[in-house]
Each structure stands twice: as C-alpha cells, then as structure tokens.
C-alpha cells in the first residue's frame, strides 16, 4: 500500500485518534484495512472471494468458512472492547517510554491488573516481525547482566536472578548509533555467543567485541572481527570500560528503562518480552510521528497469531516460531473498499447481508 501517510493512514494527534476511533465498528474497519488491504482473504483457504455477513463476519465463497477480522489475530475472542484495545495501543506506542500495567490500569480504568498486564504482554509478543533484517555495517557486540528484582503476579517482590543478555548495536559514522538487538543468553560461551551474532548481524559486517574467547572464530562465520583488548587499552592508559561505548550506552538505557517505567518489577521469565519492547522503542526513537508507531504496532498485531493467557504466564523462554511468508497480496481490490482519503473507512452502504 506504499508509505503510510499521517492524517490518512494513521492519526497525527490524540484528538484525531479519538475522533477516528469512537466505536468498535470504527476499530474493526481499521483492522480490516490493515489485515486485508486489498480486500478479504480467507485465512482458511487463502481465497480472496467472499461476502460480508450482517454480524460483521465474512463468509468465504471458496470453503464456506465464516470468519471475523479479529479471528486468528491477537484480538481473537477478546472480551475487551476494541476501543479499549486501541487506547492501550495508542498509549503503548505514543509514550516515549511506554507504560506499565499499573499506570495502564489506572489511566483506562481497566478492571484488573492482570487484564492490563496481559494486554501489554500480548502487544509485546507481536513486536518482533518475522524475517526482520539483521544489523549491518559496523556492529558492537557484548554481553551484560540485566534484571535482579522479581515480582510474582499476585504481588510481592523477591530477589530475582540476573540474566546474561547479549547486546548488539550498529555504529554510525561519523558518530551516533543505529539499530540494536538484545537477547538473553544461556552463558558466555562461543556456543551461545556465535548464534547470537549470526542471528542478529548480517554476515560481511564488522563486529567489534572485547577479547573474550567466546567471540573467537567470528571470521570463520563471515564477519570482519575487530577485537579490542582491555589489557591493551589499560597499557595505553585508556579506560577499558570505554572500549565498547555503544553497547554500554544501550545497556544503561535498558536498565534505566526497566527501573523507571517498570519499577524493576520484571521477572526472569518475561525479561525477553521487555527486551523486545525496549529494542522496538530504541529502533524507532527517531520516528517523527508517534502515530506511525501506533500504526506499526496494530499492523503487527493483526498479522500475529492469538496469544493465550496461559502462554503469557508459564512461558520460560521466548517462543521460537519459524518465519511465515507474508500474506498474499495483489489480488483485485474489493468493491467494498472506498477509494476515499481515509482508505480504511468502509462505506456503510457497501455492507451486505
Ligand atoms: Zn475459505
């Protein structure tokens, strides 16, 4: 659909947001346009022919299945009104540092902390786009310990474990940082560090690390390896802590964010989700419009499979899912779709059934 435009494809302000999404029907129109930009596609048989039923569901003319725009997405069978979901997305996306479950519950008067907590976790779980590009150019890589305070769901806080976390940051010339990536590591061995590098950095890149033996062998994996020895730095009279300034900067930012927005109440099992959220925010820190970030979150949310509450509470490791091919596009536009300035707004007259 080309580059999304502010004021047309996503709201430019909170006023516009409120005016656009007054009812669940408004939200359904928007989700429908995001999920099926060229018209309804049956999630079962992938055919793009069907019609709208009176209850806002769709009937596939290929296989006869009935489906809704939220079925098979993270909004599947939600008991929360879509207008509330959209408000959560808006606060999540437009707040520079995001929002905690506690403030979300207070701000939107959501029934329980668990509901607010689960909504935020469902949003976090969609942020890693399948097939996203790896880091390129010159990339600093290091590992650091993150975490320490733990909060059980029923309340109460105990000492938690610190989690060894890999950090990779693109270096921009002459100065500044590009994108970053973070992931918990089993340990600091080559068996953990090499997959972290290959999973997050494009071969051919220059990888800057310290002299730790776990990074030995990166050349054989297709990288230009720039090893910086702390001992050599000390011998030169330099501060060895400044050998990898980008990863140290990002590490201090993520620790500050966990202590600030989330008051340190992040348990080990959910740390990967918070790291994904931090990376998503960091990599969009220069986005001119926060509405654009809102659009991106919803776009990912309608492309993501449902996330069950039990998956959120018992998950110990991030789910590893094979990337899926992008949804089929390019079939003839449906007549349901108005060519209006706001393309997602369905013409009420066009509905059948
Ligand atoms: Zn079908």
From the CA of 108, how far away is ligand 1's center (Å)? 37
From the CA of 47, how far away is ligand 1's center (Å)? 6
pTM: 0.83
- The answer to whether the beta carbons of residues 271 and 254 sit under 8 Å apart is no
Residue 277 has pLDDT above 90, yes or no: yes
From the CA of 60, how far away is ligand 1's center (Å)? 5
The reported pLDDT for the residue numbered 231 is: 82
The reported pLDDT for the residue numbered 341 is: 62
The reported pLDDT for the residue numbered 264 is: 74
The reported pLDDT for the residue numbered 262 is: 83
- Burial of 2 by CB count in 10 Å (0-12 exposed, 13-18 middle, 19+ buried)? exposed
The reported pLDDT for the residue numbered 349 is: 38
List of long-range contacts for 63-71, beta carbons under 8 Å, 24+ apart: 67/42, 67/43, 69/28, 69/31, 69/32, 69/35, 69/36, 69/302, 70/28, 70/31, 70/302, 71/43
Indicate the pairing of strand 66-67 with strand 138-151: unpaired
The number of helices, as runs of H, and strands, as runs of E, in the chain is 11, 8
From the CA of 328, how far away is ligand 1's center (Å)? 14
From the CA of 41, how far away is ligand 1's center (Å)? 8
pLDDT, tens only, 218-273: 999 999 999 998 888 888 888 777 889 999 999 999 999 998 888 777 778 889 99
Return the closest-CA partner of residue 87 out of 311, 297, 281, 309: 297
The reported pLDDT for the residue numbered 160 is: 58
From the CA of 203, how far away is ligand 1's center (Å)? 41
pLDDT, tens only, 122-163: 999 999 988 899 999 999 999 999 876 554 444 444 455 788
Mean pLDDT within 183-191: 94
Backbone angles phi, psi at 302, to 5 degrees: -80, -10
The reported pLDDT for the residue numbered 343 is: 67
Q: For the chain, what is the mean pLDDT?
A: 85
From the CA of 40, how far away is ligand 1's center (Å)? 10
CA gap 276, 146 in Å, rounded = 14
30 Cβ contact list (under 8 Å, min separation 6): 20, 21, 86, 298, 344
CA gap 110, 89 in Å, rounded = 14
Mean pLDDT within 324-335: 38
Which of 51-60, 185-194, 328-337, 338-347 shows the lowest per-residue confidence on average (mean pLDDT)? 328-337
Highest-confidence range of 101-115, 167-181, 236-250, by mean pLDDT?
Answer: 167-181
CA gap 227, 249 in Å, rounded = 19
- The answer to whether the beta carbons of residues 201 and 212 sit under 8 Å apart is no
From the CA of 296, how far away is ligand 1's center (Å)? 27
- How many of the other CB atoms lie within 10 Å of CB of 159? 8
Which of 41-50, 181-190, 307-316 shows the lowest per-residue confidence on average (mean pLDDT)? 307-316
From the CA of 350, how far away is ligand 1's center (Å)? 21
State whether residue 201 is helix, strand or coil: strand
Mean pLDDT within 306-331: 56
From the CA of 66, how far away is ligand 1's center (Å)? 8
From the CA of 305, how far away is ligand 1's center (Å)? 18
Where is pLDDT greater, at 287 or 21? Answer: 21
The reported pLDDT for the residue numbered 229 is: 86
């Amino acid at each position: 659909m080309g580059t999304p435009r502010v004021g047309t494809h996503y709201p430019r302000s909170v006023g516009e947001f409120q005016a656009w999404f007054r009812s669940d029907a408004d939200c359904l129109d928007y989700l429908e346009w995001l999920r099926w930009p060229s018209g309804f596609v049956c999630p079962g048989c992938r055919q793009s022919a069907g019609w709208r039923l009176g209850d806002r569901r769709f009937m596939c003319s290929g296989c006869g299945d009935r489906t809704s725009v939220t079925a098979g997405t993270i909004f599947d069978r939600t008991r929360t009104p879509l207008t509330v979901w959209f408000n959560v997305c808006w606060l999540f996306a437009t707040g520079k540092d995001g929002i905690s479950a506690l403030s979300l519950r207070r701000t939107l008067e959501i029934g329980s902390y668990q509901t607010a907590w689960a909504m935020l976790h469902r949003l976090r779980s969609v942020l890693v786009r399948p097939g996203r590009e790896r880091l390129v150019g010159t990339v600093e890589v290091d590992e650091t310990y993150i975490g320490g305070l733990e909060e059980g769901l029923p309340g109460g806080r105990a000492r938690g474990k610190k989690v060894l976390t890999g950090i990779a940051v693109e270096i921009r010339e002459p100065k500044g940082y590009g994108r970053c990536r973070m992931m918990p590591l089993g340990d600091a061995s080559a068996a953990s560090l090499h997959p972290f590098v290959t999973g997050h950095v494009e071969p051919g890149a220059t990888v800057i690390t310290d002299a730790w033996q776990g990074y030995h062998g990166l050349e054989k994996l297709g990288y230009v390896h720039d090893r910086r020895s702390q001992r050599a730095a000390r011998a030169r009279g330099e501060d060895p802590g400044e050998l990898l300034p980008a990863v140290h900067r990002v590490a201090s930012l993520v620790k500050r964010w966990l202590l600030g927005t989330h008051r340190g109440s992040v348990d080990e099992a959910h740390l990967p989700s918070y790291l994904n959220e931090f990376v998503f925010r960091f990599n969009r820190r220069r986005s001119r419009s926060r509405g654009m970030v809102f659009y991106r979150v919803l776009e990912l949310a309608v492309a993501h499979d449902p996330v069950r509450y039990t998956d959120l509470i018992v998950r110990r490791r991030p789910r590893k899912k094979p990337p899926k091919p992008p949804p089929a596009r390019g079939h003839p536009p449906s007549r349901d779709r108005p060519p209006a300035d706001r393309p997602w707004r369905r013409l009420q007259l066009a509905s059948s059934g």
